[in-house]
Amino acid sequence: MSRWTRTADPAADAGWKNAPPRKGFFTDSSICIGCKACEVACKEWNGIPEDGLEMLGMSYDNTGSLGASTWRHVAFIEQPRRAVAASGLTPLPVVAARPGENRSFDGAETGIRWLMSSDVCKHCTNAACLDVCPTGSLMRTEFGTVVVQDDICNGCGYCIPACPFGVIDRRQGPPGTRNVGIAQKCTLCYDRLGDGMTPACAQACPTQSIQYGDLDELRVRAQHRVDALHAAGVADAQLYGADPNDGIGGAGAFFLLLDEPEVYGLPPDPVVTTRDLPAMWRTAAIAGATLLAGAAVAFVRARS
């Protein structure tokens, strides 16, 4: 049973013999300039349709959230001087990542913080979407990533409520739109990986806020970065999704954030729902047995 819910090496667990090192993203929001090149590069490579022409007024975010036709989403959060002061947060900008380096400015100069962060599918170690998919359309690749096989998916939609991050969705759109009715999400550019290339978003990112590589190496790099930021006085810098012991067994795509996750629209303590599945099956079994017994009792003394 435990194997259902706890995986150390997801690729091997999915039957991949001598798989390559697990690949992932480290998105460092402290150097994101909010240019949205990741959003466009992703759409260009994956042929994703336009996703709405509405102005949302959420700072410069007119994308809104991840979805079937948005696999990268840059969040913009404006934190006014008042709020920043009140919250006691370190105002942006983030100072140089030299541990202990003494800077002449504390960033409070800018008055406000403008947080930007590029969200993406987390490619969970224990992936709910993958577990609950009844067709095997969702698949764990040899790189440890999770992809939708659009030739298999029948659009049952179960993966959508299963995702603790609200990433995956079923594509809607006028007839003729590609993959309408099928669940869609970031594939970490599976086809490019197979050819030794970098995913489109990471390739485009001007400031390397999006870094792609071997997950182990990325986690080390991220830890150094967060240590450096702390040393430089950015107290609220925190890693998100980097811990293999969290509710999803660690994310394949993790983040460095400068505020609490929920500020960016991320769940503070995500848990893969199937972690509780064995218990749920037991409950169901007892409930079923109760029903059977109840039915039997109902027929005691019953005779025509």
Structure tokens, 252: 């394949």
* C-alpha–C-alpha distance, residues 140 and 59, integer Å: 36
Using CB under 8 A as the binding rule, the residues of this chain from 100 to 139 that contact other proteins are 101, 103-105, 107, 109-116, 128, 130-137, 139
CA 180 to chain centre: 22
Residue 238 in the binding site for other proteins (CB under 8 A): no
Residues 172, 195 contacting (CB under 8 angstroms): no
Structure tokens, 95: 């100072």
What number of residues does the chain have? 304
Count of residues of this chain found to bind other proteins when the rule CB under 8 A is applied: 151
Residue 239 in the binding site for other proteins (CB under 8 A): no
Which lies closer to other proteins via its Cβ, residue 185 or residue 219? 185
Least distance in Å: CB of 153 to other proteins? 7
Query: Looking at 190, 240, 254, 255, which residue binds other proteins (CB under 8 A)?
Result: 190
Query: Looking at 20, 173, 181, 233, which residue binds other proteins (CB under 8 A)?
Result: 181
How distant, in Å, are the alpha carbons of 43, 72, 73, 159, 246 from that of 68? 11, 10, 12, 12, 26
Using CB under 8 A as the binding rule, the residues of this chain from 147 to 176 that contact other proteins are 147, 149, 151-158, 160-166, 168-170
Least distance in Å: CB of 227 to other proteins? 15
Residue 4 in the binding site for other proteins (CB under 8 A): yes
Residue 18 in the binding site for other proteins (CB under 8 A): no
Residue 232 in the binding site for other proteins (CB under 8 A): no
Least distance in Å: CB of 56 to other proteins? 8
With contacts defined by CB under 8 A, name the span among 213-221, 234-242, 249-257, 271-279 that binds other proteins.
Answer: 271-279
Structure tokens, 12: 């091997």
Q: First vs last Cα of the chain: how many Å apart?
A: 46
Tokens 């990542």, located at residue: 97
Which lies closer to other proteins via its Cβ, residue 8 or residue 292? 292
3-class SS of residue 143: coil
Query: Looking at 8, 9, 85, 208, which residue binds other proteins (CB under 8 A)?
Result: 208
Which lies closer to other proteins via its Cβ, residue 231 or residue 291? 291
Structure tokens, 163: 């995702």
Which lies closer to other proteins via its Cβ, residue 213 or residue 265? 265
Residue 37 in the binding site for other proteins (CB under 8 A): yes
Least distance in Å: CB of 214 to other proteins? 19
CA 189 to chain centre: 15
Helices (H), the chain: 2-5, 10-13, 37-46, 81-87, 128-132, 159-162, 190-194, 200-204, 215-231, 277-299
Which lies closer to other proteins via its Cβ, residue 20 or residue 274? 274
Residue 234 in the binding site for other proteins (CB under 8 A): no
Residue 251 in the binding site for other proteins (CB under 8 A): no
3-class SS of residue 137: coil
The alpha carbon torsion through 130, 61, 264, 161 (nearest 10 deg) reads -30
Query: Looking at 25, 39, 237, 256, which residue binds other proteins (CB under 8 A)?
Result: 39
- Nearest Cα to Cα of residue 75 among 83, 90, 64, 86: 64
